[in-house]
């Protein structure tokens, strides 16, 4: 429009010069969701560390940008420690395999875990009371609560909260993390930014910037004044490296030698490091307290003001893989469970994500449906399924098989249908709303069922008898069994 105007304008004044203002006012990028084709992504980058691997799905990909998220998968070897860090956005982790320990660090939350409680506490009370008052030194240890996590757990970490993960099992610990960079809680730009607190790891998201952006940033970098000790050559490091070492020594009240270690200088282990001897002794055994009184544990009151209490005592974990937690179950089809802000209050207003976990048996079909209020980031866990995804004008934007390990985004309101392959299909879907809701287009709870038969007949130009077939022939709610046709058909 602007152009044609501009063109004619130019022709008019052709022999006398031309003023052409081509205002091109681009697309609106609330989120970039002009999607005409989706794809099931594999990780685009892989970072090998001492005790594990970090696999990154390209967050500059159109569909992840549409959803406003970044996706990372961590594979942590036994006794591997994902170094402590914090992020500029909330994340929802799903633990695919193994078991581990998740440490959460928030200033002012109470140090309720006191190690060697029985053997050492006595010593403390008797022999070290003075020391404790003088310098908080005692031969035991105390720290903030550490949570056990295992396969099937959803774990949520909010913006700016320090956290680390340790594999205390005997097998690899595998988790996928969805980082909601378009969340209100992220007030920085639209990039995932991880602030490491230890080591000197390569930044997993840096790789992914467009070349332009990197050039631009490097350009600005050259103008930079007063940067001291910053790693111009290497792309990664922890935040302490940016501070003056002497100042840090004063701040921590330790000698400069130790600060060099704090700053992670000459550390080439990457972001997942091996813990010699293991950390297991420090933590409570699952059987003892984690299982029986989990809820109660989580509500332990902190000292400090009311707000710290709220933050410190929020529950962060929920298992959504167990069969007994299924919300939908079709005997020959499969089951679906999930988690919303009603289950895990931290999702409400703070993290604003929810998740569903589905198990489809061989040949079972997830009936056509759409997400009413959220994008759905689907991570394929096991097996495979044929997906069909349709946009508002009826165009098929995806029509392919999705296999284990792939990530695909189903944009809000786009219609999705899938049919599990011969080995079934399992996936977890993270929704970009604290209460992801689904409308189904076929089956017992579908929109078709909600309409009067006469309206259906008129809308589709069919007889009322046919309208009733559309409305009532599929009895199941979300999953249609694969092998047996419904008896009423």
| 443-472 positions binding its own copies, by CB under 8 A | 443-455, 458-462, 466, 468-470, 472
**DSSP string spanning 388-420?**
EEE-TTS-EEEEEEEETT-EEEE-TT-EEEEEE
Q: CB of residue 94 vs its own copies: minimum separation in angstroms?
A: 21
**Virtual CA dihedral for 369, 375, 376, 377, nearest 10 degrees?**
150
Among 286, 299, 301, 395, binds its own copies (CB under 8 A): 395
Please state, in angstroms and rounded to a whole number, the distance separating the CA atoms of residues 389 and 400: 9
Please state, in angstroms and rounded to a whole number, the distance separating the CA atoms of residues 34 and 223: 37
Q: Does 256 bind its own copies (CB under 8 A)?
A: no
Q: CB of residue 454 vs its own copies: minimum separation in angstroms?
A: 5
Cβ atoms of residues 406 and 380 within 8 Å? yes
Cβ closer to its own copies: 194 or 406?
194
Residues from 22 through 41 that contact its own copies (CB under 8 A)? 22-34, 36-37
Please state, in angstroms and rounded to a whole number, the distance separating the CA atoms of residues 476 and 480: 6
Cβ atoms of residues 347 and 433 within 8 Å? no
Cβ closer to its own copies: 29 or 423?
29
Q: Does 63 bind its own copies (CB under 8 A)?
A: no
What is the gyration radius of the CA atoms in the chain, in angstroms? 27
Q: CB of residue 154 vs its own copies: minimum separation in angstroms?
A: 18
Q: Does 88 bind its own copies (CB under 8 A)?
A: yes
Cβ closer to its own copies: 115 or 313?
115
3-state SS class at 87: strand
Q: Does 52 bind its own copies (CB under 8 A)?
A: no
Please state, in angstroms and rounded to a whole number, the distance separating the CA atoms of residues 268 and 260: 14
Stretch of 121-129, 149-157, 251-259, 292-300 lying at the interface with its own copies (CB under 8 A): 251-259
Cβ closer to its own copies: 188 or 300?
188
Cβ closer to its own copies: 96 or 145?
145
Q: CB of residue 89 vs its own copies: minimum separation in angstroms?
A: 10
H-state helical runs in 62-110: 62-67
Q: CB of residue 424 vs its own copies: minimum separation in angstroms?
A: 17
Q: Does 397 bind its own copies (CB under 8 A)?
A: yes
* Total number of residues that touch its own copies (CB under 8 A): 206
DSSP 8-state secondary structure symbol assigned to residue 4: H
Please state, in angstroms and rounded to a whole number, the distance separating the CA atoms of residues 449 and 442: 8
């Amino acid at each position: 429009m602007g152009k044609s105007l501009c063109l004619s304008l130019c022709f008019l004044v052709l022999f006398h010069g031309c003023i052409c203002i081509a205002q091109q006012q681009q697309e609106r990028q609330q989120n970039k969701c002009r999607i005409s084709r989706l794809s099931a992504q594999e990780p685009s980058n892989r970072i090998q560390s001492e005790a594990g691997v970090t696999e990154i799905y390209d967050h500059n990909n159109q569909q992840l940008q549409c959803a406003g998220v970044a996706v990372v998968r961590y594979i942590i070897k036994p006794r591997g420690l994902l170094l402590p860090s914090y992020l500029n956005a909330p994340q929802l982790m799903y633990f695919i395999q193994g078991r581990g320990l998740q440490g959460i660090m928030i200033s002012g939350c109470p140090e309720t875990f006191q190690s060697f409680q029985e053997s050492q506490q006595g010593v403390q009370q008797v022999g070290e009371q003075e020391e404790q008052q003088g310098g908080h030194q005692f031969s035991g240890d105390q720290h903030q609560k550490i949570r056990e996590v295992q396969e099937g757990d959803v774990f949520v970490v909010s913006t700016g909260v320090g956290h680390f993960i340790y594999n205390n099992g005997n097998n690899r610990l595998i988790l996928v993390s969805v980082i909601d960079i378009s969340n209100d809680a992220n007030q920085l730009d639209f990039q995932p930014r991880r602030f490491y607190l230890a080591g000197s790891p390569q930044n997993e998201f840096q790789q992914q910037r467009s070349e332009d952006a990197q050039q631009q940033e490097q350009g600005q970098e050259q103008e930079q004044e007063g940067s001291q000790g910053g790693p111009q050559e290497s792309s990664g490091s922890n935040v302490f490296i940016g501070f003056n070492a002497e100042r840090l020594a004063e701040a921590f009240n330790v000698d400069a030698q130790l600060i060099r270690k704090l700053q992670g200088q000459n550390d080439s282990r990457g972001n997942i490091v091996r813990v010699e001897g293991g950390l297991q002794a420090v933590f409570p055994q699952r059987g003892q307290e984690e299982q029986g009184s989990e809820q109660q544990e989580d509500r332990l009151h902190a000292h400090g003001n009311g707000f710290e209490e709220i933050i410190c005592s929020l529950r962060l974990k929920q298992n959504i893989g167990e069969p007994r937690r299924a919300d939908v179950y079709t005997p020959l089809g499969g089951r679906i469970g999930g988690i919303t802000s009603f289950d895990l209050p931290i999702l409400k207003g703070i993290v604003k994500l929810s998740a569903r976990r589905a198990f489809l048996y061989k040949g079972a079909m997830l009936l056509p449906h759409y997400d009413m209020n959220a994008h759905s980031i689907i991570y394929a866990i096991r097996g495979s399924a044929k997906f069909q995804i349709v946009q508002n004008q009826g165009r098929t934007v995806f029509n392919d098989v999705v296999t284990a390990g792939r990530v695909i985004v189903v944009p809000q309101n786009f219609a999705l249908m899938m049919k599990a392959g011969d080995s079934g299909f399992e996936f977890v879907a993270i929704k970009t709303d604290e209460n992801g809701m689904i409308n189904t287009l076929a089956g017992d709870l579908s929109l078709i069922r909600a309409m009067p038969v006469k309206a259906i007949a008129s809308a589709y130009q069919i007889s009322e008898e046919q309208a009733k077939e559309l409305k009532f022939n599929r009895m199941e709610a979300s999953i249609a069994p694969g092998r047996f046709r419904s008896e009423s058909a």
